Amino acid sequence: MKTALRALSVAITALWLFIATTTVSAIYSATMISIEGVDVKGYAEEDTVGIMVNITLYNGGFYAITDLVVGSEVFLLLKPTRISASRTEVPSVGPGERSTVSHRMDLSLSELASDEEVIRILVMNDTFLNLTLTISCTYAAIFLARLDTNITWLWGAPMSGLRVGSISWGAGVISVPLSFRNNSPLNYTFWLELLDGSGSPLGSSDRFVIPPGTVFSQDIDITVGGPIPPAEGRLICHMLMGTTEISLEVARIGS
């Protein structure tokens, strides 16, 4: 992700230089527009991973910069889907004015939870995302400028490479070998739950706290109220990130 952030910072600076040099042939004062700083940082908040871009712009020209828009979209490449979109608008940066544009690009797992295929990919697979950044503005109320840039971003999954081993049965207990690595910057808690064929709960495991970078490999015991093994059942993994809970089926038992 650090490589993508550095690339994004360079791309934003290049875009503004291009905008300035494009308009200079028409308006001399456009050369007095400058980028005083580009700060790009990644962050993680509960179930959200994102990028914050702060662009400090100084309009040293004679005319106003209007309709300044920074827009971004994030696409999942493994299943071509737009998974995030955001837009930041600045109405005007007048002559002699300095403005800092703050643009957030959020990827929230809770907002994607309704699409089971997408959330399963993001939770269990390290995968490439495509970030499209657009910057547009009007200078001197006449000249329009718009540019797009694309950056590939490697997503680290919270349960990367999740595998369920051979489930064993004991007196009132099932044991589930589970392994994965948390390649995301997210902290979360998870536990396993066994449901019968009708979806009624049969038992749950203890809860496990998983910080970023954790390599998990352990046999997880679930105390079961009912016949062992059940004629039919589903093993559900619950992830709790702050106040957000995501539940995914990880194995089936019986027919």
Over residues 178-232, the pLDDT tens digits come to 999 999 999 999 999 999 888 889 899 999 999 999 999 999 999 987 666 666 7
What token pair was written down for 175? Answer: 């044991």
DSSP alpha helix (H) spans, 25-147? 109-112, 116-124
Instruction: Give me the domains of the chain, ranges plus CATH numbers.
Output: 2-155 (2.60.40.10), 160-254 (2.60.40.10)
Residue 98 to residues 57, 84, 221, 254: CA-CA distances in angstroms?
A: 6, 29, 60, 66
Task: Return the higher-pLDDT residue of 106 and 229.
Answer: 106
| pTM to 2 decimal places | 0.80
- Residue-wise pLDDT for 48-91, tens only, equals 888 888 888 888 877 788 888 999 999 999 888 999 999 999 88
* Residues 6+ away with beta carbon under 8 Å from 160: 124, 125, 126, 180, 181, 182, 183
Q: Give the span between the Cα atoms of 247 and 87, in whole angstroms.
A: 30
- What pLDDT, on the 0 to 100 scale, is given for residue 148? 83
Asked if 65 and 137 touch (Cβ cutoff 8 Å), the reply is yes
